[in-house]
Structures are given as C-alpha cells and as structure tokens.
C-alpha cells in the first residue's frame, strides 16, 4: 500500500484493502466444523526458543469467535469507510495501514498462547489505535484523545506484563494452556494474588472499566469507521478476552470473582447513568459502550462462580459465561450498526449534537430503521438479539443470591438490584439516542448541511449488521451450537470436555412467568416514564461538581504533576553539563554495586594463590599513581598529556610482567596514537584557564572518583576470591584449537568467541564516523565551502 497507492488514484484504496478481511473471514470459517466439536488447532513459529518464547497460534472456540468478529466486522468497516472517507481529501494509505496493523494485532492477541507474544500484540493494538484515533492529527481533540487512550492502556499493559512475568515464574512456562493445567498448584503460590491484580489492571484499562473508562469518550474524535471497529467490536473487547482466557487460572480465587463482577457492575451502572448527560451522538454511544462492556465483564465474573459449585453443569451459574459470550456477539452487531448510523447522521447533516437534531425520520428513513433496530436491541426488547442475552444477564445476576460462599449471600443481593437499575438507564439512553435524533420537531434549517439519506454504499454495512440483530433472535441456538458453546468450553475447561455437554437452550419465552420477565417489564415501564419526563430530570446532572471528575484527575496527574512539578524537579539536575550527568550515573552505580556486595555477603577477599608483589612492581605502582595525580592537577596541558602517556606506558609494562604481550602491544599502540593526537590538537585548543569552582563541587567529584575506584577494586577482589561458577577460561583453553581452529587464544577470543562484539564495535565506529562526516559537511556547506 505505501508503494502503490499513488499509482492507482482512480479507485478508492479501500476496495483493495477489503480483500484482506474477506479472505480472513473465509479462511477462519474453514475451522468452524473442527472447533464446534471441541477440538483446537495449533501452529507454532519459534522466536526465542532459549527463553521459551514462540509465536504459538492457538485456535479454540474462544479465539476463533474473536477472530471471526475481528475479520468480519473489519470487512464491514472497510466497506463502510470506502464511502465515508473521501479518496481525494483523506490520506487513505495511512488510514488503511493503521487499520490493517490493528487487525493484525488483535488477531495476534486472541490467538497467542504464549504470554510474551500476547503482550507484544497487546501493545501493538495500543500503538495502532493511537494512530487511528489521532488520524486527523491537525485537530487538537484528536491528538488529545489519542494520547489519553495510549497513556492509560499502555500503563495497564505494563501492569499486565508484570502479571505475566509472575505467572511464568510460578508455572515455569509462558504457555497459557500449560498454566491452566497447573491452576490448582498456582493458587497456593504467594505471588498468585499479585499476578491476578496486575493482569486485571491490564484488562480493565483496555476494556474501559471504571475508573479507567475516561479514555473511551475522548477516543470518539476518531473517524466513525474507527469508532465502529475499535470501540464496539474489537479493541475494547480485548480486555474481555483476557479475562475470559485467564478465568480457568484465576477463578479459584474469590478476589477474582469479586473484582471482575463488582467492577463490571459498577462500570455498567456508571456508564449507563452518565450516557444521558451527553449531547454528542458518539459520546452517548461511548458511554453506552462502557456500560455494555461492564455488563459482559460482570457476567464473566459470575461465570467464575461455577468453579466453586459442585455439579455446576446443572446449576444456574452455567448461564453466566454463556450469556457473556452471547451478549458479546450481540453487542458487536447492534453497537457497530449504531456507530455507523451516528457517522451517517454526522456525514449528512454536519453535526452530531443531539440538541440540533430531530425530525430526520422522514428524511432518512433507512437510517432511522437501522437505528431503531440497533437501539431496541441495546435496550433489550424483542424481537432483537439483545433481548435474549439481557434476559440471561438478569438470570445470572439473580443466581448470585443463591451462592453462600465469599459473602455473596449477603452483599450479593445488591448485584441484581444494581443490574436492574442500570438496565433501566440502558433502556432510556437507547430511546434517547434514536428518538431524539430521528423524531420530534425538525430543525433542518439550522443544520450545517441540508440532510438527506446516505448513499447506498454507506448503508450496506449497517443494514447487514441490523439483519444479524434480527436473525440471531430467531436462530439463537444455531449461533449457540456453532460459536457460543465452543467458546464457553474454552472458558470453563474443567466443567466440560465437549460443547455437547453444555445443556443450554435459548428461547424468547420459557412457557411461564419468571422473575426475569417481571424485571424486564419493570425496566420497560419505568424506562418509558423516565424517558418521557427526561427534560424535567435531566437537569439533575448539572448538580454534579464539574471539578471532581476522573477526567480532571487525569489532567492533574498528566499536566500538573508530570509537566509542571516533575519538570521543575528535573530542571534541578538536568543542567546540560555532561560532567554532572556522568557524576550522577557513576556515583549511583558505585553505591548500588557496593551496597549489593555487602548485603549479599559477596565481599570475601582471600590472597591464597596470589603472586607475591616485588620491589620493581611497587616502583611502577608509585609511578602510576604519580602520573595519575599529575594528569589531574597539572596546570599545563603539555604536562597533562605527558603524564597521561606515562600512565598508559606504565600499564603496558604491567601487561609485559603478567605475560600478556598482545595486551601490552595493543596498549602501547593506543597510548602512542593518543599522545600523538593530543599533541597534534594542542595548537587548536583554547587557552588554558584555571576554573574557579566552589569547594563542595570538588568534594562531589572526589566522592564519585573514590566510589568508582572502590567499586572496581572491591568487585575485582571479590571476583578473584570466590568462584561461584567455573571460570570460562578453561573452556577457551580446551576448545580454542579443536573448535575455533586457532593457536593464539587472544586472537581467537576476539575474532570467534566475541565475533559479534567486535562486529558491533566496528559498526559503532562506522556510525560515529558517518555522523562526524555529516556534521563536518553540514558546517562547511553553511559557510559556502565545498568539501
């Protein structure tokens, strides 16, 4: 794409990109028959086998479902973007490169069995989403939203990486499948809870759970195809995938159940309540996405209870994991279509402000129909797929009160209450989105553009998703047998050995009145009343303090603490003096090393087997010391240069005494060249001036010098006095001729055993030479001279 997009300008770049997700959907569909039977498919590509890190692509029910969502929704988004983004005005090559990068990263996340490669792809989703959200980089809000999303999700990703490392230490493997097999043993480890919390931080930040959801509304500054793809079907679902994938490992802990369920319900309530405060169509959908993600997260938490119940296959808890996967599919369909409709409204009217909209039903009837279907499904009304999964959600929440472990029988009563209240607000914001936009008194003359129905090409994708919304309602068990049950088996592998054992039949009517039905009727009645009186009580949002918000807390941390306070602190030591920087680094290293030696009881000195010191060696040591002191305190550069040469030549004499002629020769050559270069440059040096400095600065340099000298001496004595492992010198002696085919051990070590080291040294010198050449050429060209 970077090379050919300019060659073919008459055809929209998206048509070529569309082939990629279409191929992926077709390819992954091949595995449906295999995976639906409970089997899995594995492919491996070694990366760093010595560390146990490989690209292991693992397809089971859960990863295949996500792969089909990523590629399927991706195909519809690409098709939608062809008509949404103008090929003459937009930088399409950048857009589609970022989009394909993100698609690749998401597929890597959901298919990686190795935790390290999963983390690699996880952070690639953060980078690519940053580029997509900030696609319109000339807009301040786009750049702000992109930075905010990356800051929060990358911070969570770093926490998650810590959890992965702890898990690998506990289980001695990076493989998720192998860790699942060790789950009972891992739970007894002291690091288990720490790893659990760290991994959940990664999941919560990526899936916009409370209090980390604040990046999602700001990410709505991205083009609508990005919002429809990242923030409804893929990126925000990555955290849900992570929780589902690691549930077999962590479900044995009550902390996992409480955190996943509790944070999920809090996010559901918070997002649904504050969705009605928004005026931007995509802002409403952003908060609705937050609430729906919380709903699915809470279901995954309740599903983990099944690991603590005898005969869980026959209890009501088996519905939770099933409902989570079912609603995840349903959410991708209705929320994707709603995001696309929001983009259509913005595209055709020039605004997303719901206060300026209204009366578009007769002007945009097809868009209204799709919006109605998606909104009613989100509200949980029949005959749409959201109704079925919402009923199962209520069933799962009611089941918590029957669980008498971990205090769920007491505090658990709040969960169905919170779920019901949040569902009421979900009903209201669903109606708020569709009816305030398309019904009521029209304000056509006040709109930036004269509204009209969107072109057919832009309507195809949301219509397809709307058809899925209705179709799934009438064939839920076909979807369940093909997609949901294999995914549930992957989440609960200890409960089921085959998808056929998951005895769940989805139906819209169970033949009798259930508590869930009464709850649904209450949601509809109260939701209608509150929606019809919305203008009277919506003003209550104005009483919430505008300063006490999570967004302001984020701004304070990022801009006040980081930019201002930390900037002032760094200004105290970032003075531009290389001498100071070296002093800080060398002093810190010396303190750390010396402290470590004493704390680890590693400082043990023995002179056993040491060569006796002779008189002439003492004389050389005195000469070495005198030369060093003279170099530092000499008032003449000539004296300093001569004294420095004396130090080098004295060291070479020590090499001769210790039977190291090669080192002595190298040292002599280096010293001769150094002294010659110093003398040649002497003429060009500025006039020597004694600098007057404060005494305490001299003491600082003296401290660093003594500390570095002490560190090197202590390390050398300690290394000589205790041998924790056998010396590598014996290996060199045994193999220098047989393996390397050389007779001079020093040459062989430099060329063969340390060949890469020598190569890199040469490369560094070459790079430095090129840089120096460039600077000289640049300086001469500025003077108008020729090199």
Torsional sign, CA 86, 90, 96, 102: negative
d(CA 756, CA 690): 44
d(CA 159, CA 199): 7
Find residue 41's DSSP bridge partners: 59
Distance of CA 366 to the CA centre of its chain: 38
Q: Which candidate, 49, 45, 71, 72, places its Cα nearest to that of 58?
A: 45
- Please work out, in degrees rounded to the nearest 5, the angle formed at the alpha carbon of residue 243 by the alpha carbons of 104 and 181: 100
More confident residue, 170 or 754: 170
Which tokens in the block code for residue 573? 């030591």
Over residues 389-428, the pLDDT tens digits come to: 999 999 888 887 776 666 665 677 788 899 999 999 999 9
Residue pointed to by tokens 């719901």: 354
For 386, other C-beta atoms within 10 Å of its C-beta total 31
Q: Provide CB contacts within 8 A for 741, sequence distance 6+.
A: none
d(CA 563, CA 556): 10
**pLDDT of 313:** 52
Residue 534 has pLDDT above 70, yes or no: yes
Pairing of strands 41-48, 53-59: antiparallel
**pLDDT of 55:** 94
Which tokens in the block code for residue 316? 């009501």
Over residues 359-390, the pLDDT tens digits come to: 999 999 999 999 999 999 999 999 999 999 99
Which tokens in the block code for residue 408? 């769920």
Residue 697 has pLDDT above 70, yes or no: no
The helix/strand/coil state of 353 is strand
d(CA 667, CA 624): 15
What average pLDDT does range 534-556 have in this prediction?
85
Full 3-state SS string of 434-489: HHHHHCCCCCHHHCCCCCCCCCHHHHHHHHHHHHHHHHHHHCHHHHHHHHHHHHHH
Over residues 634-648, the pLDDT tens digits come to: 878 888 888 989 999
Over residues 748-766, the pLDDT tens digits come to: 887 888 778 878 888 988 9
User: Can you give the pTM of this predicted structure?
Assistant: 0.81
Distance of CA 557 to the CA centre of its chain: 20
Residue 233 has pLDDT above 80, yes or no: no
Q: Which candidate, 139, 135, 144, 268, places its Cα nearest to that of 213?
A: 268
Using CB atoms within 10 Å of the CB of residue 254, give its burial: 0 to 12 exposed, 13 to 18 middle, 19+ buried: middle
What average pLDDT does range 174-187 have in this prediction?
94
d(CA 685, CA 638): 12
Q: Note whether 112 and 58 are within 8 A (CB).
A: yes
d(CA 762, CA 747): 16
Over residues 85-120, the pLDDT tens digits come to: 988 888 888 999 999 999 999 999 999 999 999 999
| Alpha helix segments (H runs only) across 172-234 | 176-181, 183-186, 192-206, 215-218, 224-230
Residue 695 has pLDDT above 50, yes or no: no
Q: Which candidate, 351, 377, 383, places its Cα nearest to that of 451?
A: 351
Q: Which candidate, 249, 147, 101, 271, places its Cα nearest to that of 189?
A: 249
CA dihedral of residues 153, 157, 163, 169 (deg, nearest 10): 180
Using CB atoms within 10 Å of the CB of residue 771, give its burial: 0 to 12 exposed, 13 to 18 middle, 19+ buried: exposed
- How is residue 114 annotated by DSSP? B
What average pLDDT does range 187-211 have in this prediction?
95
Over residues 6-37, the pLDDT tens digits come to: 777 788 899 999 999 999 999 999 999 999 99
């Amino acid at each position: 794409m970077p090379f050919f997009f300019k060659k073919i300008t008459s055809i929209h770049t998206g048509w070529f990109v569309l082939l990629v997700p279409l191929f992926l959907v077709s390819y992954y569909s091949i595995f449906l028959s295999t995976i639906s039977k409970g089997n899995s498919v594995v492919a491996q590509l070694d990366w760093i086998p010595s560390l146990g890190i490989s690209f292991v692509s693992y397809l089971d029910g859960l990863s295949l479902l996500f792969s089909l969502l990523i590629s399927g929704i991706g195909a519809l988004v690409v098709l939608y973007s062809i008509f949404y983004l103008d090929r003459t005005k937009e930088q399409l090559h950048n857009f589609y490169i970022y989009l394909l990068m993100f698609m690749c990263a998401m597929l890597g996340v959901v298919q990686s069995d190795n935790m390290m490669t999963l983390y690699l792809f996880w952070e690639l989703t953060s980078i690519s989403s940053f580029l997509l959200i900030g696609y319109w980089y000339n807009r301040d809000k786009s750049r702000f939203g992109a930075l905010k999303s990356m800051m929060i999700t990358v911070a969570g990703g770093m926490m998650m990486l810590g959890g992965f490392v702890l898990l690998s230490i506990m289980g001695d493997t990076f493989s998720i499948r192998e860790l699942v097999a060790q789950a009972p043993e891992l739970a007894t480890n002291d690091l288990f809870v720490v790893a659990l919390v760290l991994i959940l931080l990664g999941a919560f930040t990526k899936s916009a759970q409370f209090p980390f959801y604040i990046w999602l509304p700001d990410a709505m500054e991205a083009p609508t195809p990005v919002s429809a793809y990242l923030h409804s079907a893929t990126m925000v679902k990555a955290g849900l995938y992570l929780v589902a994938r690691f549930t077999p490992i962590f479900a044995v802990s009550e902390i996992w159940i409480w955190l996943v369920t509790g944070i999920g319900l809090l996010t559901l309530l918070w997002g649904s309540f504050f969705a009605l405060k928004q005026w931007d169509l995509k802002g409403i959908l952003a908060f609705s996405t937050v609430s729906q993600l919380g709903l699915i997260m809470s279901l995954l938490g309740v599903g983990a209870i099944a690991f603590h119940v005898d005969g869980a296959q026959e209890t009501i808890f088996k519905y939770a994991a099933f409902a989570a996967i079912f609603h995840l599919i349903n959410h991708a369909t209705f929320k994707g279509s709603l995001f696309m409709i929001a983009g259509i409204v913005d595209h055709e009217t020039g605004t997303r402000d719901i206060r300026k909209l209204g009366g578009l039903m007769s002007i945009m009837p097809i868009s209204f129909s799709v919006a109605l279907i998606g909104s009613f499904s989100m509200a949980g009304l029949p005959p749409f797929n959201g109704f079925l999964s919402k009923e199962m959600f209520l069933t799962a929440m009611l089941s918590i009160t029957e669980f008498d472990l971990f205090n769920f029988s007491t505090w658990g009563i709040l969960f169905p209450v919170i779920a019901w209240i949040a569902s009421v607000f979900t009903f209201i914001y669903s109606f708020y989105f569709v009816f305030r936009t398309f019904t009521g008194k029209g304000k056509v003359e006040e709109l930036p553009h004269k509204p009209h129905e969107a072109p057919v090409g832009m309507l195809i994708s949301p219509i397809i998703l709307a058809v899925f919304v209705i179709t799934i309602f009438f064939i839920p068990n076909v979807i369940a047998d093909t997609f949901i049950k294999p995914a549930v088996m992957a989440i609960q592998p200890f409960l089921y050995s085959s998808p056929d054992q998951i005895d769940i039949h989805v139906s819209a009517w169970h033949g009798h009145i259930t508590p869930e039905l009464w709850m649904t009727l209450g949601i509809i009645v109260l939701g209608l009343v509150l929606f019809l009186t919305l203008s009277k009580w919506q003003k209550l949002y104005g009483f919430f303090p505008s300063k006490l918000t999570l967004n302001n807390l984020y701004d304070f941390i990022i801009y006040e603490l980081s930019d201002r306070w930390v900037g002032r602190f760094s200004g105290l030591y970032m003075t531009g003096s290389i001498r100071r920087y070296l002093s800080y680094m060398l002093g810190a290293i010396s303190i750390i090393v010396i402290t470590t030696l004493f704390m680890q009881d590693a400082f043990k000195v023995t002179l056993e087997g040491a060569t006796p010191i002779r008189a002439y060696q003492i004389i050389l040591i005195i000469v070495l010391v005198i030369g060093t002191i003279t170099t530092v305190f000499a008032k003449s550069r000539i004296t300093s240069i001569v004294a420095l040469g004396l130090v080098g030549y004295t060291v070479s004499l020590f090499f001769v005494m210790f039977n190291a002629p090669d080192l002595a020769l190298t040292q002599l050559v280096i010293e001769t060249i150094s002294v010659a270069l110093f003398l040649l440059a002497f003429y060009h040096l500025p006039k020597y001036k004694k600098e007057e400095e404060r005494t305490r600065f001299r003491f600082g340099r003296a401290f660093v010098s003594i500390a570095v000298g002490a560190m090197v001496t202590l390390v050398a004595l300690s290394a000589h006095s205790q041998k924790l492992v056998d010396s590598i010198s014996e290996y060199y002696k045994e193999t220098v001729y047989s393996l390397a085919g050389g007779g001079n051990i020093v040459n062989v070590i430099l060329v063969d055993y340390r060949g890469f080291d020598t190569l890199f040294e040469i490369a560094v010198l070459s790079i430095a030479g090129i840089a120096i050449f460039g600077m000289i050429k640049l300086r001469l060209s500025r003077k108008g001279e020729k090199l």
